[in-house]
Chain A
């Protein structure tokens, strides 16, 4: 990295500018990733918190919590299957409490007595408060962790209470707890694993899809920007490279030097951007759903460095094709 480091020193301005560009792109990628995870959690954290290994919905072209409806017969059919420990009907619907909430009924472990409701702390309701959910008068009997479904805070009631709130006699889906690999197919039902069931939450797929597309595009653009920068840079120093080749540097020496340079610049730029994004994310996480975790910070940063290196590799490949002959006699 002898040449690389001295070039960085010599072309400080250019490299600082470029580090800045990388930092900004990393900032965007990290923020987007944190936001994607945050929005994802707001959409499906209640699904994530459900016990069991799978969820059965009524079979429809587009499985959804909003339209699914299962019967007692469906539940019995599933419960009778080999390898199934339990099959529990649950109800899921939207209702009006102080604001809109997602009401989950009959979830094992989060099912209060009839007439009771478990609410998350964010609703600010003390135990014993009387609340009205749709047209039902209920009493807050405890609190739950902060979960949400489709961006609505999740409250938990018993299945009977849910039926009264939702004005139905059935259930929305069946929570299945089964052995791995058990056959869960049943007529009229679509059984999904928990992560597959994310797509049954209305906005989740399109939301995550478009956010991930943006992140992907940003990463692609980053690769192009890095590639373009190093293409120009490599061309600019083509003559110097030819001289160094003529005096005996091997191709691999120049390639290592150039890639080392790219890696250094990328790590510095991406590091800066990540630090900045972490700060911004911390500040914003109270206002917007934003997840700050290694997977939303370090992973996008590493991806950024990786795609940058791919772009740089394409660009600096040409150092290996520099003809030492062009060094000789050429005027400068």
Chain B
């Protein structure tokens, strides 16, 4: 078990107290791809942010590779994020002042045992575009740089919040295929949020959220290669 979350509760107080998570729980094995599905506002991002150590739960426990990250202080969370988690965001979030290669270099500079920059660039098929700035890359290419940036630290866990949310079908499939390749090539455990039910076919585990809870968790014995998914 790489990720194990249980009893996660979180509410936001914006005048009225709105519960966003009500005892959410999930478990994901090492080197697996897990997909979180659910309607908008069901708490998917909130759950992922807590697992990724950028947000804190009011209640509940998250363990990643045996480390209880819900007990970590702020410095502990920084280190956890730096060493153990890679993030891929919906809107890429590359630093516009840095080239593709440098966006990856920032991370490799601050992590303890990074992979080689050229290795991860090659893994996402962007060796040629190393010196381009983000604005000189297509959305799909930017997202691939983001994936390379996320995996260069050789994270235990790769978290992707709607990584294809801003991309067209062909490019989405391409990005998903990259993620699947990362999973097999580096054995990286991936947890991914998507609105696209079809994407669940490529996952080993599928979590369906509703109203701040994981309603169903299903296993998928035969994940489909991303290239064969259609929607």
Interface positions of A (Cβ within 8 A of B): 2-3, 6-7, 9-11, 237, 239-240, 243-244, 246-251, 253, 324-325, 327-332
Contact = CB atoms under 8 A, between A and B. Distances in A.
Contacts of B161: 328-329
A253 B110 contact: yes
Nearest to A242: B93
B6 interface: no
A248 B49 contact: no
Given A6-B98, A7-B97, A247-B107, A324 B54 contact: yes
A251 B110 CA distance: 12
Contact of B110 (A9, A237, A249, A327): A249
B45 to A, nearest CB: 6
Interface string B93-123: 1111110001001110111000000000000
Interface residues of B, number: 33
B97 A247 contact: no
Interface of B: 45, 49, 54-55, 75, 78-79, 81-83, 85-87, 89-91, 93-98, 102, 105-107, 109-111, 149-150, 153, 161
Given A10-B96, A246-B87, 12 more contacts: A2-B106, A6-B98, A237-B97, A239-B93, A244-B106, A247-B82, A248-B81, A250-B78, A250-B82, A253-B110, A324-B54, A329-B161
A247 B90 contact: no
Contacts of A2: 102, 105-106, 109
B97 A11 contact: yes
29 contacts: A2-B102, A2-B109, A3-B95, A3-B98, A3-B106, A6-B102, A10-B97, A240-B96, A243-B95, A244-B95, A247-B150, A248-B78, A248-B82, A248-B110, A249-B82, A249-B106, A249-B110, A251-B78, A324-B81, A325-B54, A325-B55, A327-B54, A327-B93, A328-B45, A328-B54, A328-B89, A329-B45, A329-B89, A332-B93
